[in-house]
Structure 1
Amino acid sequence: MTPVKTVRFPEYRQYEQIRTRANNAVMGLLAGAGMASHLLQLTEGSDRLLSEIFPNVPHIKRLDMKSVSARAILSSGDVHLGAMTVPYVLGIHEDFIKTCLGMLQQAGYTLSKQDIKYIKAWTQHEEIERVAGGNFSAVELQQFHTLRLMRNCSIHAGGLVDRDLADHLAVWDAASEAGWIARAGRSPRTVQLGDKVEFGHGEIVAALACTKALAREANVLLQSALTRDAWADLVVEDAAGELPGVLKEPAPQRQKRIKGFARFHYLPLSLTETEIADAITRAS
């Protein structure tokens, strides 16, 4: 598979930073719960409460129980962390997709809703496909919508499988299920209406992986949907913000620095010196 070459425009850089921080924090919490559970093995059989064993740990009294009970909670921590993390990861992604829609609207494309906030999560990607004239990976999009419906069940249906999720899983194709199992290690396809929706480490991995892939694909769709002049103008605007005073420098130095900036962050576009020079003129 050919690697996806992304343009690192400001909003995409910000998305990557937020997503990386979320990924590190979640994996750190999962690892921390595992380490804590392992450490509590040393106190197995003790009748002392955690606040007596670890008096200097902040907030320990909020989990003031014996080691055996605390280990049981920590061992199943991924279930609760998953239920919190998946909506968080999806929310970060949906906000970025709204940003992409805003860029398309600013470029002159007509969206289905004038106010982007009314384009909901279940149609955001399809809206980009429609106006940009390209397609997201069907498998990645299928995984995203599965996670979105699981999230909706967790928030709006008491954590139980509702009709929307059940109907969605019923029409899963083999490729979607195989891709999900490869990431999550299990398939939710066997769940029935009214079953409990379960999140865990696998669902966290699936959420992080499919949103990363879809964000990159959105980036590629934008590359061809926006005009080269629009990209060149964005490069100059971006460079002016990241390289204070660059637009006031002598022409040769200014051109060289902005060209280098474009090569670093906007390499897939292969903007020419003339395109960059014209954008500098428009910005002056």
Structure 2
Amino acid sequence: MRHIERFQLRPDRARRELAASEEHLARIAIPYALSVHEDYVTQVKDDLVGISLPLALQGRRWNAENMHAILLDSLGQPSLPDLTTFEALRRLRNSLIHSGGVVDAYVEAGINMLSPDALTRWEQVAGRPPGDSIKSGTVDVGAGEVMLAFSAARHLSLVLHDATLTAFPASFWLNDCVDDFLRGHRETLRSGRLLRAKLEHYAEQYYEDFAFTWSELFGAAQRAGVPANQLRRRGER
């Protein structure tokens, strides 16, 4: 609507606009949640290839439908999590973006493939059965499906992250720790004050399971381009 019309709404029209706003927000938020997760999955794949671990394609194409199974197989996970919720949401998302929300056999198959546990979880989180999202012939999503999308994306991201903790070598996480620290502490780098103490604290706070020594952090920081004199305490050589 034109800007001025926002101030000329009758109560009945205002109610209609507000009633439709939840669906509009859901049509934006669900693709956002899934795309952020898919970007993380691609990053994990790039990291895996970067440290020369083989990608277990096993005749499968790398795409959004197979990416979780391929990565978790590559990371040596003995069993896969339930992927049906993410897959059903992905098909709803694709319909919204590419088909104007029209429900076709592919979207229906995504809903029908939901496992019993996924069906129960969907209804608990979304507040309605998954079939309600497609029964009108067009995709109908709201706040419940938004929460479900963020929940499913977060769960699968944590599963992948936990798998990388054991599959990736400690040297990868050492470099990751230092790189993360340097990206977030540019002011500390420019001033050079308390750099060692802050780096040690950062490693203890976010990478405590690896128990990196100062010698390891010092070497990784030097390889990342930090001058040695900035990493030493006053009086150290």
Aligned residues: 221
1:143 CA drift (Å): 1.4
1:205 CA drift (Å): 0.8
Matched position secondary structure for 2:141: coil
Match of 2:99 in 1: 157
Alignment counterpart, residue 162 of structure 2, candidates 213, 220, 223 = 220
Please, what is the CA RMSD of the aligned residues?
A: 3.3
Summarize the Cα distance change of 1:178–1:91 in structure 2 as closer, same or farther, 3 Å threshold. same
Alignment counterpart, residue 234 of structure 1, candidates 167, 172, 176 = 176
Q: Which amino acid aligns with 1:150?
A: L
1:159-178 superposed matches below 5 A: 159-178=101-120
Match of 1:204 in 2: 146
**TM-score, normalization: structure 2?**
0.77
Question: Is the 1:162–1:194 contact (alpha carbons within 8 Å) kept by the matching residues of 2?
Answer: no
Alignment counterpart, residue 265 of structure 1, candidates 201, 206, 223 = 206
Alignment counterpart, residue 23 of structure 2, candidates 57, 79, 91 = 79
5+ residue gaps in structure 2? 226-237
Q: Which amino acid aligns with 1:271?
A: F
Question: Is the 1:166–1:193 contact (alpha carbons within 8 Å) kept by the matching residues of 2?
Answer: no
1:63 CA drift (Å): 7.4
Question: Is the 1:136–1:214 contact (alpha carbons within 8 Å) kept by the matching residues of 2?
Answer: no
Match of 1:127 in 2: 70
Matched position secondary structure for 2:63: coil
* % same residue: 24
Larger relative contact order, structure 1 or 2 (CA cutoff 8 Å, min sep 6): 1
Q: In structure 2, what is the Cα distance between the partners aligned to 1:97 and 1:273?
A: 31
1:155 CA drift (Å): 2.3
Q: In structure 2, what is the Cα distance between the partners aligned to 1:187 and 1:274?
A: 55
1:1-284 superposed matches below 5 A: 59-61=3-5, 64-111=8-55, 119-134=62-77, 138-139=81-82, 141-189=83-131, 195-244=137-186, 256-273=197-214, 275-280=216-221, 282-283=223-224
